[in-house]
Amino acid sequence: MNRERFIEQVRKLLGDRWVITGAWETYPYSRDYWPLLVYRELRGLEHVSPAAVVLPETEEEVTEITRLAEENDIILVPYGGGSGVLGGAAPESDWVVVDLSRLNWIRWYDEKAGIVDVGAGVYLRLLEEWLQSQGRTLRHFPQSYPEAVIGGLVSTRSIGQYSTGYGGIEDMIVGLNIVIPRIGKLQVKPVPRRSVLLPLDHMFIGNEGLYGIITRVYLSTYELPECSEKVGWKNESFNDALENARIIVRKRIHPELFRIYDERESTLHFGEDGSISIGVIEGSCRIVEAKIEDLGELIGKDIRSGSSYAEKWLDKRFNVIEDLWKLYEVGMGFETIEVSVPWGWAYPLYTDSLRKLDSIEGLYFAGVHASHFYQSGAALYYTTAYSLEKIDDVYREIWDTLMEEASKHYGSISHHHGIGRMRLKYLKLEYGEEGIHFLRQVKKAVDPSSVLRDDPLRLG
Amino acid sequence: MHDVVKTFTRCALCPGVCVTYCPIYMNTHIRASAPNNLARLGLKYLKGYESYDPALWLCTGCRECEYNCPISNPLWNAARISRGKKSRVEAVKVETKNLGGRGSSLLVVSSIIPDQALVEYLKQFYSIHWLDTGSIYMAYWSGSEVQLNLDAFDYIIIDDLDVTPALIPGKLKGKVIYSIQLLEMMGYRSILENKAFVLHVPCKISVDGKELLINVSYKVLGKPIRTISKCIGGGGGLPEKHPVIASELVHSAMKGSRKDYLVVTLCSRAKTHLLSSGYQAKTPLDFIAGDMN
């Protein structure tokens, strides 16, 4: 490794201002939003800062940085908004962070097609505001909406709150550029669909910075909806709520934003018994009206009368800090874990996993909601609160329990948060030996020197 | 007493809901200035990492983070108080200068000594006092509290908004007049009509306050070619501690405006920053002094 030479070369490439090595300037990159690291830091544990941070402005600079990194035996880790919740962006002390925040252009690629050309460092909130000023919308609203950037969202295969109507980020991507160490800048031009061997753009959605650095994304956008109506209703139980959701999605009369809460979370969020469903139905006014009518008939209730549940949730949907602080003040930590599961296994997974979670010492709360639905199944989202005194033990136990239960019930270990560092040891549950072997072989082919981190594949 | 550790901890627990509102972070890409990161560095600084001090000065106190925070966390104040690693907040006694006159007492709060012609004019109706905010500026932004008996004055004219949070508790609202409002009360109307000028309404005013002052400014000055109501990096100690960043901020805010355009700013501190960055600038009080150019 020749770090000094690398830093010198990158200084020449970018200018001194865009190569950071000072202690207080590099410390912010020492973690992302992985709760384990957040709480450890607040409890006084020192995180390691990267050796340096470089801030390229162009895709060509990113390409040159990867070339120089290989030449000098440097490991790079890309950094977007730092909103990842599993430690994927947290560096080792000898790694160099590539901060993508200067790749921040937003422009139309094809206005008629509604395809927007976006730099990887663009904040989602700013992109959505720009689109809305043009009468368009991405309709991608993950909880990290205020602080996430496009490159990070694509790298983790993100999903948003309106996914049941509009899909995940992968459904909005029509092309992208990615810098791959041995390959250079791979450009996959934006088209509505293609059938040309391996889908080179979609192969890299969710690569978490292991195979390449996403620098540019072409996104397909929607027209702003003419009408938007909030609905809500109460189900007898979470099992009923799941069954209702399955039928609603099968009949394709689902709200664009659709969430169902188990009894525990219904009490927590709405202060009521039962299992609450909320939704936002969007589109042309006539379609919205028709959907509300059909949906109401199917549920057997006036679903508009429950709109206050949806309003309450919408008001607070990006406000995570209020609850986190309340818990922190009484010595409690917070963790959310998402898995996906086919319909037939959704309720068994729910009951079996909660029973096991409830037996974990130091875990004070575990509840579930589902907020992303498909023809074939749903994502279950677990919310837990636990004693910070016992964080190291409780945290691992929660994760071990849920990953094993998801796998046992034929679910995926991750629906949209990705792998990061936290899920490394569960990779085998998802893909088996052969899958991991394949991932390793691809890595060896495109990044044999491991310019981009390879630890997930070594440990998986 | 502000619990700085609590304020920092709340921000450090947050993923950074407000980061895109922070003018310093969005203009400079310096991750340490993003509010949640600044809070993390603040906590470390309080635990003995003294070399982290420059990070605490990456804040002008514009309050955008507080205004866009779901729990209105006043990070800017925690950063301010922590500077210089104060274990307790020191109070700085402030003296005002009596400029003469008679009648109701009127305090002019400005970093620039009021023009003599203006003072002579006002002295016909008021007993004039001047608070030189330049004398308390760095003390306040280094964490001290300002001690001044504002009850002693019947009216307070604010021409320096940078230290407004230090001076104007809510209960005094009734007697506070921003300098542009003074012009309105004196009957000035459309004084820059047909002239190309830029209006700057400082960031430290709340959203509602900005709207009010912008409307008053339009009435008094006429319609500017552009209104800037964001941070230009002129206060909070930023120009003194990070001059390059302060300069980048003003040029970024003024992007698209020609340097020969007059900038009318409602803050004398901002005026100083604009002038030193090569722009022509005036505050409303300059117009009362008879300079209409």
Can you tell me which residue has the tokens 């035996």? A73
B142 plus B117 within the same structural domain: yes
Q: Is residue B17 part of a domain?
A: yes
Whole-number percent of chain B with pLDDT over 70 = 94
Domains held by chain B: number:
3
Q: Is residue B105 part of a domain?
A: yes
Asked if the Cβ–Cβ distance from A24 to B40 is below 8 Å, we say no
Asked if the Cβ–Cβ distance from A28 to B40 is below 8 Å, we say yes
Q: How many CB pairs under 8 A join A and B?
A: 93
Chain B CB contacts of A33 under 8 Å are 15
Asked if the Cβ–Cβ distance from A321 to B69 is below 8 Å, we say yes
Is the ipTM higher than 0.90? The answer is yes
Q: Is residue B273 part of a domain?
A: yes
B274 plus B194 within the same structural domain: yes
Instruction: Assign B2 a pLDDT band (cuts: 50, 70, 90).
Output: confident
Asked if the Cβ–Cβ distance from A25 to B30 is below 8 Å, we say yes
Q: Indicate the burial class of B21 (C-beta count within 10 angstroms; 0-12, 13-18, 19 or more).
A: buried
Contact B229, B196 (CB under 8 A): no
B163 plus B237 within the same structural domain: no
Compute the nearest-CA separation of B32 from chain A (Å): 6
Question: CA nearest B50 in A: which residue?
Answer: A24
Interface membership of B177 toward A (CB under 8 Å): no
Can you tell me which residue has the tokens 């009949």? A251
Q: Of the candidates B165, B183, B201, which is a domain's last residue?
A: B183
Chain B CB contacts of A53 under 8 Å are 31
**Which segment of A389-403, A408-422, B53-67, B206-220 scores lowest on mean pLDDT?**
B206-220
Task: List C-alpha distances in Å: A185 to A62, A91, A215, A216, B283.
Answer: 9, 24, 9, 10, 52
Q: Is residue B281 part of a domain?
A: yes
B140 plus B231 within the same structural domain: no
Asked if the Cβ–Cβ distance from B17 to A28 is below 8 Å, we say no
Asked if the Cβ–Cβ distance from A322 to B13 is below 8 Å, we say no
B202 plus B269 within the same structural domain: yes
Sequence letter at residue A162 = Y
Q: Is residue B37 part of a domain?
A: yes
Asked if the Cβ–Cβ distance from A321 to B55 is below 8 Å, we say no
**Which segment of A281-285, B230-234, B287-291 scores lowest on mean pLDDT?**
B287-291
Chain A CB contacts of B54 under 8 Å are 24
Can you tell me which residue has the tokens 């791959």? A180
pLDDT by 10s per residue, chain A, length 460 = 899 999 999 999 999 999 999 999 999 999 999 999 999 999 999 899 999 999 999 999 999 999 999 999 999 999 999 999 999 999 999 999 999 999 999 999 999 999 999 999 999 999 999 999 999 999 999 999 999 999 999 999 999 999 999 999 999 999 999 999 999 999 999 999 999 999 999 999 999 999 999 999 999 999 999 999 999 999 999 999 999 999 999 999 999 999 999 999 999 999 999 999 999 999 999 999 999 999 999 999 999 999 999 999 999 999 999 999 999 999 999 999 999 999 999 999 999 999 999 999 999 999 999 999 999 999 999 999 999 999 999 999 999 999 999 999 999 999 999 999 999 999 999 999 999 999 999 999 999 999 998 876 765 4
B194 plus B282 within the same structural domain: yes
Print the SS3 string covering chain B: CCCHHHHHHHHHHCCCCCHHHCHHHHHHCCHHHCHHHHHHHHHHHHCCCHHHHHHHCCCCCCCHHHHCCCCCCCHHHHHHHHCCCCCCCCEEECCCEEEEECCEEEEEEECCCCCHHHHHHHHCCEEEEEEEHHHCHHHHHCCCEEECCHHHCCEEEECCCCCHHHHCCHHHHHHEEEHHHHHHHCCCCCCCCCCCEEEECCCCCCHHHHHHHHHHHHHHHCCCCEEECCCCCCCCCHHHHCHHHHHHHHHHHCCCCCCCCEEEECCHHHHHHHHHCCCEEECHHHHHCCCCC
When CB atoms are compared, the residue of A23, A83, A316 closest to B51 is: A23
What pLDDT sits at residue B293?
40
List, in sequence order, every residue forming a beta bridge with B114; answer none if it has no partner. Answer: none
Inform me whether the pLDDT recorded for B88 exceeds 60.
no
Question: CA nearest A102 in B: which residue?
Answer: B29
Q: What is the mean pLDDT of residues B173-189?
A: 88
Candidates A43, A47, A147: best to mutate against B (most CBs of B within 10 A) is A147
Q: Is residue B53 part of a domain?
A: yes
B192 plus B275 within the same structural domain: yes
Which two tokens mark A24? 């207080």
CA distance A20 to A7: 9
CA distance A255 to A232: 10
Residues in Cβ contact with A425 at an 8 Å cutoff, skipping those fewer than 6 apart: A459, A460
Instruction: Assign B114 a pLDDT band (cuts: 50, 70, 90).
Output: confident
Residues in Cβ contact with B225 at an 8 Å cutoff, skipping those fewer than 6 apart: B196, B197, B198, B257, B261
Interface membership of B30 toward A (CB under 8 Å): yes
Distance of CA B133 to the CA centre of its chain: 11
Average pLDDT across chain B, whole number: 90
Residues in Cβ contact with B17 at an 8 Å cutoff, skipping those fewer than 6 apart: A146, A147, A318, A319, A320, A321, B68, B69, B70
Compute the nearest-CA separation of B35 from chain A (Å): 11
Asked if the Cβ–Cβ distance from B20 to A125 is below 8 Å, we say yes
Report the 10 Å Cβ neighbour count for B241: 18
Interface membership of B29 toward A (CB under 8 Å): yes
Helix H or strand E segment including A53: strand A52-54
Range of the domain at B233: 187-288
Interface membership of B50 toward A (CB under 8 Å): no
Q: What is the mean pLDDT of residues B27-34?
A: 97
Of A33, A321, A293, the C-alpha closest to A149 is: A33
Instruction: Assign B172 a pLDDT band (cuts: 50, 70, 90).
Output: low
Kindly report the backbone phi and psi dihedral angles of residue A407, in degrees, each rounded to the nearest multiple of 5, phi listed first. -65, -45
Sequence letter at residue A355 = R
Candidates A27, A55, A123: best to mutate against B (most CBs of B within 10 A) is A27
Asked if the Cβ–Cβ distance from B13 to A328 is below 8 Å, we say yes
Q: Of the candidates B82, B107, B125, which is a domain's last residue?
A: B82
What pLDDT sits at residue B292?
40
Chain A CB contacts of B58 under 8 Å are none
Compute the nearest-CA separation of A284 from chain B (Å): 31
Compute the nearest-CA separation of A216 from chain B (Å): 18
B99 plus B179 within the same structural domain: yes
Of A415, A458, A418, A452, the C-alpha closest to A436 is: A458
B174 plus B97 within the same structural domain: yes
Chain A CB contacts of B67 under 8 Å are none
B231 plus B155 within the same structural domain: no
Counting Cα atoms < 13 Å in the Cβ hemisphere of A307 gives 10
Of residues B188 and B290, the one with the higher pLDDT is B188
Interface membership of B14 toward A (CB under 8 Å): yes
B106 plus B20 within the same structural domain: no
Residues 71-100 of B with CB under 8 A from A: 71, 73
**Chain A residues interacting with chain B (CB cutoff of 8 angstroms):** 23-25, 27-29, 33, 38, 41-42, 44, 53, 55, 81-83, 99, 101-102, 123, 125-126, 144, 146-147, 316, 318-322, 324-325, 328
Q: Is residue B293 part of a domain?
A: no
Chain A CB contacts of B19 under 8 Å are 81, 123, 146-147
**DSSP designation for A123:** B
CA distance B111 to A21: 37
Sequence letter at residue B245 = I
Instruction: Give the dihedral of Cα atoms B11, B14, B18, B19; nearest 10 deg.
Output: 90
**Which segment of A310-314, B145-149, B178-182 scores lowest on mean pLDDT?**
B145-149
Chain A CB contacts of B49 under 8 Å are 23-24
B214 plus B232 within the same structural domain: yes
Sequence letter at residue A169 = I
Inform me whether the pLDDT recorded for B249 exceeds 90.
yes
Task: List C-alpha distances in Å: B214 to A86, A113, A448, B217.
Answer: 45, 39, 60, 5
Contact B164, B158 (CB under 8 A): yes
Interface membership of B48 toward A (CB under 8 Å): no
Q: Of the candidates B164, B183, B202, which is a domain's last residue?
A: B183
CA distance A367 to B252: 47
Inform me whether the pLDDT recorded for B170 exceeds 80.
no
Can you tell me which residue has the tokens 């008001």? A315
Sequence letter at residue B13 = L
Asked if the Cβ–Cβ distance from A320 to B15 is below 8 Å, we say yes
